[in-house]
Structure 1
Amino acid sequence: MKHSKIAIIGAGRVGTTTAYALMLKNIVAEILLVDIDPNRCQGEIYDLADTLSFSTASNIHAATLKEAGRADIIVVTAGIAQQPKQSRTALIEVNQKIVTNILSDLKPINPHAIILMVTNPVDLMTLCAQEHAGLPHAQVFGSGTFLDSKRLQLAIANHVGVAEESVHAYVLGEHGDTQFPAWSCAQISGIPLLKFPGINEKDLAKIGVQTKNKAADIILCKGSTFFGIAICVAAMCESILFHQKKVFTLSVFNQEFGVCLSLPVVLGGRGIEKILPIPLSDSEQKQFTASAQALRHAKKGIGE
């Protein structure tokens, strides 16, 4: 294995679970964990280090933000957690300050580094990171609706009784209130979704609502989500480190609207290698525009 280095900023539940997922995958030589609370950080490292006998490829240790700035991949999870029934946009002001300070303290940043934003509201935090990192947009992007898309694919697969990898369906736009499933281009092994036996428009509407509400349902029950997003981040890191060029729905900069929101992209060793055009129906295009405008409004609400 090439001596790859991933820094995780934030030793909370998402950050530490991401570290754990990376260690179990055996895909990275060195993991740096950074947190504002050094005792908490060291305790998490001691705990995670107990898995090393099952994960021979990875080494994990505490680091400063300056040290993290030299990593190959920098995963930012630090921020104030979303509370039950709290919209993601309500988090904007405080988490923007946190992200801005982190980006400042990371410098000088490795010019080849990939910055992967997970802090919510992820679309606005991704835009903030792009504005402060001094790196090309292709190297700074967010987890976006990747997990939402995986939830959608799994729900469809369970409904019709096929393997999840046979389902191709995406949730686009904001990771939040205005996200939407692109039903018009959803397929199961090349068969348009509504032509596949055992599923109809009523089923799609139900699945769409369940997918959109799943994060809120989890937060209401246990306070936060972290397992699903951690494995998604690990998959993204794997696609980068091994130049896999996999297609994920990630939060990327949209020139037309001047915001970051989720579209299907090709993710490889250089970061975002291609943003894929996706044919939307007229109603879906209106939903996409509404999602982008909602993000623009939220951005203006805190000053540009």
Structure 2
Amino acid sequence: MLAPKFPFTNTPLPSVPPVEEAAPTYSPDQVPSCGGHGILEILEVTRFLEAHGIECCVVGVSALMFYGAGRSRDEWDLCVPDDKLHEAAALLACGSIADRLHPVPPLPIQHPSSLSHTYHRFKGKGIHFYVILVPAHDAHIPSGPFRIMRSMNNIPYPTLQVLMQSFLDTNDEVSLCDCIDGSNVSEEWGRRYLDLEGPNDLEWASRMNQRAKEAAQGRGWPFVHYFPTQKINRREKWESRVRSKTGRLEWKTPESLFDTRFRLKGSPDPWTQKLMSC
């Protein structure tokens, strides 16, 4: 199986003017649904886009949480096809959902190995709920159509194979190990479902680094973050990270009780359970 190819364009992001967040008042934002996780809110956003013919899937930290990783979330990363990014941003800013969601300025700081500070960002009106639109190219998620798995709450996520492949191809070491430890998959699973032949996607890393550099210069910032450009053997990376699952255990997760740092022995796969965080 050949590594997926992604379209890439220098077309600027859509000119949807952000609306400044309201000044603080005596009425603070309400807590989102499901104990602050915002499940009903992100479900409404995904259904709205899908109803307008725009496929989408949740990526980033939320996807890792869905597959069992112990992460915390500040906002939802929502992946859309590259050629639908302009339309999706305009719909969320001006569509019928605009009475509950509005555009806000992008993140004011750079994050390592991320272009999140350049993406369209939206906030729920009166609630502490944020969603960022992520182009499929940047998430290294093949589109046309997305291969998704829906949670028990009906939220679309990339399948485990697609998500794991993206971490391997982009040499995202931290996310790869978190996904392995959350899903507790085996070496054999990777041989069956992943493309382990050849190196990681260095062309993708080069394009992302160039865009990161341009974005930093455009804001007068030093170019301090980057995407890994080290060439790796995907099979060797996969085998070594799966075999070291127990080596990532800590004193709080003893091997007598845990298979991985996120999974108790005999625990069911998290994505088969109706969790209020996914």
Q: Same fold (TM over 0.5)?
A: no
Query: Which has more helix, going by share of residues?
Result: 1
Query: Which has more strand, going by share of residues?
Result: 1
Task: Return the structure number with greater relative CO, CA threshold 8 A, min gap 6.
Answer: 2
Q: With the length of structure 2 as denominator, give the TM-score of the two structures.
A: 0.28
Q: With the length of structure 1 as denominator, give the TM-score of the two structures.
A: 0.27
